[in-house]
Chains A and B, each alone.
Chain A
Amino acid sequence: MRLWGTLTDPILRQNPVTLQILGICSALAVTTTLAAALTMSAALTAVIVVAAGIISLIRRHLPSSIRLIVQIIIVASLVIVVDQFLQAFFFEMSQRLSVFVSLIATNCVVLGRTESFSLHNPPVPAMTDALGNGLGYSLVLVIIGSVRELFGQGTLLGNEVFHTTEQGGWFEPLSLMLLAPSAFFLLGGLVWAIRSWRVEQVEVSEHALAPAEETRG
């Protein structure tokens, strides 16, 4: 079924973060704990699905000269709603995410999908595609978030998994995991892993070496 393909393609095969370099900004900043990563994923998925639906509904009435600004305004309004919702019901979490929820508005995943898919497709496929991309983005966030929280603090969602040395256990928390560089290393490793598995995603080098005389093993 085509809808199923539209939904599952962006999760692994066309992942917005690891293949298309979209939306990395927020993907890394909020992944120090799994809870923050989950909140961010939910917020982004909600925004992208609703935005795709709305934009797909008005696609026939949208003059192409002002389409970008209209999309930005729709997305930004939705982001304000999500932001206010978080501040009202999850105040601590919204403090922790600080400006990054607002930055969903300029998240390239959202604009990229509305621009390239929702503008040319009816609402149901558009929303399915948006959901797929939201889930693909969430998958990356959740993987990096769990690794960073697990090795950085020995916990998952605040529950202790590894018994840390501070409490007489054996696990020495890796404080590097909580700092910025580790997120880059993890994402680099993740890209490497996915591309070793899905060889068709490998980028062709602009300056390939001339093939050696004997074939390399």
Chain B
Amino acid sequence: MSDLGALFIRAAFIENMPLTLFLGLCTFLALSRRPGTAVGLGIAVIAVMGVTVPLNHLLYTYLLAPGAWAWAGLPDLDLSYLRLLTFIGVVSAAVQLVEMVLDRTFPALFATFGVFLSLLAVHCAILGGSLFMADRSYNLAESTFFGLGAGTGFAVAVILLSAIRRRLAYADMPAGLQGLGIAFILTGMMSLGFATFAQVAVP
């Protein structure tokens, strides 16, 4: 159990998706102007990653990994080059599904952040999470915790950045830095801050 906790902390802080691995930066920068949207985006990312990473893990181990078809008499079959297409398909389908379930069960929640869900179909952090899972050959429980942890890390980072940007709204900065420029520099500083987590000794 403590291993899984460590993996969660690791995925959320030490290997933070946007700040240390540069994944999911497009939405990270584009949707961090207001804290409200950032919270919606963060929750959506946690939900989708928590679902897709374990799902992709099952598909990868039982259908795509080298030797997965041994029971059918095809021990040499290696379909792992198809993992990219599979993962993208699963992510888009899962996003669609989460969208439909939310619409039915929590219409109010859907109204607040439903728009972000469709964006997540091509979100680097979500696809990247699945690819890392396959590269590092996690098992099912580890994949789940890794997915949730990485999603949480993204949510924390995007909410923090939106809060800082909100405070900077009235800052009188050079015209060229306005908007994107200052967002990059802020992200750099946050990334420096998160670099201290690398020193945390995970048991």
Contacts and interface: CB of A to CB of B under 8 A. Distances in A.
B149 to A, nearest CB: 17
Contacts, number: 140
A25 interface: yes
24 contacts: A22-B26, A24-B29, A25-B25, A29-B21, A72-B92, A80-B82, A80-B84, A83-B81, A102-B131, A103-B131, A106-B123, A179-B195, A180-B21, A181-B189, A183-B22, A184-B185, A188-B183, A191-B184, A192-B176, A203-B178, A203-B180, A205-B178, A205-B179, A206-B169
Given A72-B88, A111-B122, A195 B22 contact: no
The SS class assigned to the A binding surface is helix
Given A105-B84, A191-B184, A180 B25 contact: no
A96 to B, nearest CB: 13
A188 B20 CA distance: 16
A24 B26 contact: yes
B172 interface: yes
B184 A184 contact: yes
A72 B170 CA distance: 40
Interface in A146-201: 179-185, 187-189, 191-196, 199
B114 interface: no
A23 interface: yes
A22 B186 CA distance: 18
Contacts of B135: 98-99
B175 interface: yes
A21 interface: yes
A21 B85 contact: no
A21 B19 contact: no
A4 B133 CA distance: 44
Given A99-B131, A102-B131, A203-B178, A69 B92 contact: yes
Interface of A: 18, 21-29, 68-69, 72-73, 76-77, 79-80, 83-84, 98-99, 102-103, 105-108, 111, 179-185, 187-189, 191-196, 199, 202-207, 209
Given A24-B25, A76-B85, A106 B176 contact: no
B191 interface: yes
A80 B184 contact: no
Given A184-B187, A192-B176, 19 more contacts: A18-B180, A21-B29, A22-B26, A24-B26, A25-B23, A27-B22, A72-B92, A98-B135, A102-B127, A106-B124, A179-B195, A180-B191, A188-B182, A191-B176, A193-B176, A194-B176, A195-B175, A195-B177, A209-B172
B26 A23 contact: yes
Contact of B170 (A73, A83, A207): A207
A72 B184 CA distance: 28
Contacts of B26: 21-25, 108
A120 B10 CA distance: 45
Contacts of A99: 128, 131-132, 135
Given A24-B25, A24-B26, A29-B21, A191 B128 contact: no
Nearest to B23: A25
A106 B122 contact: yes
Given A181-B195, A195-B176, A209-B170, A103 B189 contact: no
A202 B178 contact: yes
Nearest to B175: A202
Given A21-B30, A99-B131, A99-B132, A28 B22 contact: yes
